[in-house]
């Protein structure tokens, strides 16, 4: 048993197997998962776990060089706008695209991690970086 950090075995295996530029999606409860893409479904109840909880846990374990958000966050999700600004200030490359394009890009992800989040457009694509 791990003493600290991410406890979810499947998430740990996924993060350990990711290579530079591989992508991982953290999704709200409503984002469609493309056929053939692994879905790690963490949703228990509406809002549980939250996008923020899952993002923080994964971000602490995965080297992230870039993120992609749907541009609709500016009209519908101020919390993700704040997260985007925070990541930019930390030196992470932040990209935005339309929600339709975002959904298409999910087809190339190693996996989609589904949260219980119900806030609109609470989705992000994490682009793996390197630790050296």
Q: What is the set of active-site residues?
A: 20
> Would you call the peptide bond into 49 cis, given omega within 30 degrees of 0 as the criterion?
yes
d(C-alpha 68, C-alpha 125), whole Å? 5
* End-to-end Cα separation, the chain, in angstroms: 28
Displacement of CA 93 from its chain's centroid (Å)? 14
Are 35 and 121 in contact by the 8 Å Cβ rule? The answer is no
């Amino acid at each position: 048993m791990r003493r600290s950090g991410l406890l979810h075995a499947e998430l740990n295996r996924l993060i350990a197997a990711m290579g530079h530029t591989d992508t991982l999606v953290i999704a709200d409860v409503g984002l469609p998962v493309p056929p053939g893409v692994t879905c790690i479904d963490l949703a228990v109840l509406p809002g549980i776990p939250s996008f923020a909880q899952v993002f923080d846990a994964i971000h602490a374990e995965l080297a992230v060089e870039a993120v992609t958000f749907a541009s609709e966050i500016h009209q519908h999700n101020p919390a993700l706008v704040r997260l985007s600004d925070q990541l930019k200030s930390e030196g992470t490359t932040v990209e935005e695209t339309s929600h339709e394009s975002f959904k298409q890009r999910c087809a190339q992800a190693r996996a989609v991690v589904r949260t219980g989040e119900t806030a609109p457009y609470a989705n992000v694509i994490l682009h793996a970086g390197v630790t050296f």
